[in-house]
Amino acid sequence: MSEPKDAPARDAGDVLVTVHGRVQGVGFRESMIAAAMALGVSGWVRNRIEGSVEAVLRGTPQARQALLRWSQRGPAAARVERVEVRPASAQESELVRDGFRRLETR
């Protein structure tokens, strides 16, 4: 499910964000980890084999929304084309630990 760029984060539960464009090989994951930690968002981020980056975000609606806004532009070398947001599945949420971490490519 895609949401408009200015759509608010859902009020409850974790969200899965998939970012498309030139988002691999540009420091996107490391930059997202730093942004998430600064905002107090927990979760994880990983590259996808098909070229996107996906992440699960857990935190206050305001903190998640701030990280969603960040993900629409990413680091300077990224060229974000599209951001999709949907509720995270139970399986995706189970991977969340304290802090924000990088997972293996899938």
Domain annotation for the chain: domains and CATH numbers: 15-102 (3.30.70.100)
Distance CA 64, CA 83 (A): 14
Catalytic residues, by residue number, are 29, 47
**How do residues 56-91 score in pLDDT, each as one tens digit?**
999 999 999 999 999 999 999 999 999 999 999 999
Q: What rounded mean pLDDT belongs to the chain?
A: 91
CB proximity list for 102: less than 8 A, separation 6 or greater: 29, 30, 33, 44, 45, 46
Return the half-sphere exposure (C-beta side, CA atoms, 13 A cut-off) of residue 76.
Answer: 0
In sequence order, the 6+-apart residues with CB closer than 8 A to the CB of 43 are: 14, 36, 55, 56, 57, 58, 59, 96, 100
Instruction: Report the percent of the chain where pLDDT is more than 70.
Output: 89
